[in-house]
Amino acid sequence: MKNLKITLLLVGLFLFPIIGLANDVIKDDPEQNISETEFQTRRLEMVEKQIRKRGIRDRVILDSFRKVPRHRFVPEDLKYLAYNDHPLPIGEAQTISQPYIVAFMTEALNLSRSDKILEIGTGSGYQAAILGELCDSVFTIEIIASLGNRAKLLLEELDYQNIKVKVGDGYLGWEAYAPFDAIIVTCAPTRVPSNLKNQLKEGGRMIIPVGSSYSQNLVLLRKANNQLLEEKILPVLFVPMVDPSGKKY
């Protein structure tokens, strides 16, 4: 099972540049006039083939993926690829993660309806929307202002009143709303930031990719008796977590 997941992730990563190239060739794709009904059909198929069949069975999580319109979170000219099995560029050299990875990280957090969540790396806002469907409140931080502001507008338009977006440095966490029941980080620092550890509630969970630009592991941390238990789950490749000058943490 673990091998399967690794293979799928790697396939996702390697497909990404190929799809990027392919997109240059088929810019005037007639599929650009896709109806909402067709997007919904593709979305349900994505949940079935890419998420449920790969072992994510929590009905509430699956329903959140059936509901959130992923195509709204990708650039206009890539909408026709929104439900495919790979990450996509969202501008500023950043990406929206592969649907399965979003689902995998969401499930790993073992969320409850009453949870208050911190997300570092808002990007498109897609992961935040999924969390918004599942939890009481979501606080999400994005360091690139243009992405953070765009996500904020879209989440408002989609009426996610329980999601608060901030443009800032997620390395510091969000002290004003701490502590959090769960923290999800979607950019990779070389080590787990201590502020994030401190802002986790007793009994809380954090999922975070940790490592260099070329080699990272998804790590799950649990706070119990004020100690952090750490478990490496699987190798991944996320964009690096950077400071305001662009230097990697």
Site for ligand SAH, rule CB under 6 A: 94-97, 120-121, 123-124, 126-127, 141-144, 147, 169-171, 186-187, 239, 241-242
CA distance 137 to 113: 9
CA distance 247 to 242: 5
Instruction: Specify the 3-state DSSP secondary structure of 97.
Output: coil
What amino acid occupies position 172? L
Q: How far are the Cα atoms of 40, 124, 171, 240 from residue 135, in angstroms, in the given order?
A: 23, 19, 23, 27
Is the CB of 144 or the CB of 183 nearer to ligand SAH?
144
Asked if residues 12 and 87 have their Cβ atoms less than 8 Å apart, the reply is yes
Rg of the chain over Cα atoms, rounded to whole angstroms, equals 17
Residues with Cβ < 8 Å from 192, sequence gap 6 or more? 206, 208, 210, 219, 221
What amino acid occupies position 213? S
Neighbours of 236 (CB within 10 A): 24
CA distance 130 to 147: 18
Which residue is catalytic, options 97, 112, 194, 212? 97
C-beta of 239: minimal distance to ligand SAH in Å?
A: 5
What amino acid occupies position 115? D
DSSP E strands in 98-243: the ranges are 116-120, 137-142, 163-167, 180-185, 200-211, 216-224, 227-236
What does the angle CA 83 – CA 39 – CA 161 come to, to the nearest 5 degrees? Answer: 85
Is the CB of 61 or the CB of 239 nearer to ligand SAH?
239
CA distance 28 to 41: 22
Is the CB of 26 or the CB of 234 nearer to ligand SAH?
234
C-beta of 135: minimal distance to ligand SAH in Å?
A: 15
C-beta of 3: minimal distance to ligand SAH in Å?
A: 25
Is the CB of 188 or the CB of 221 nearer to ligand SAH?
188
C-beta of 11: minimal distance to ligand SAH in Å?
A: 19
Catalytic annotation present for 35? no
C-beta of 170: minimal distance to ligand SAH in Å?
A: 3
Is the CB of 50 or the CB of 127 nearer to ligand SAH?
127
Is the CB of 127 or the CB of 223 nearer to ligand SAH?
127
C-beta of 195: minimal distance to ligand SAH in Å?
A: 11
Q: Active-site residues: which are they?
A: 97
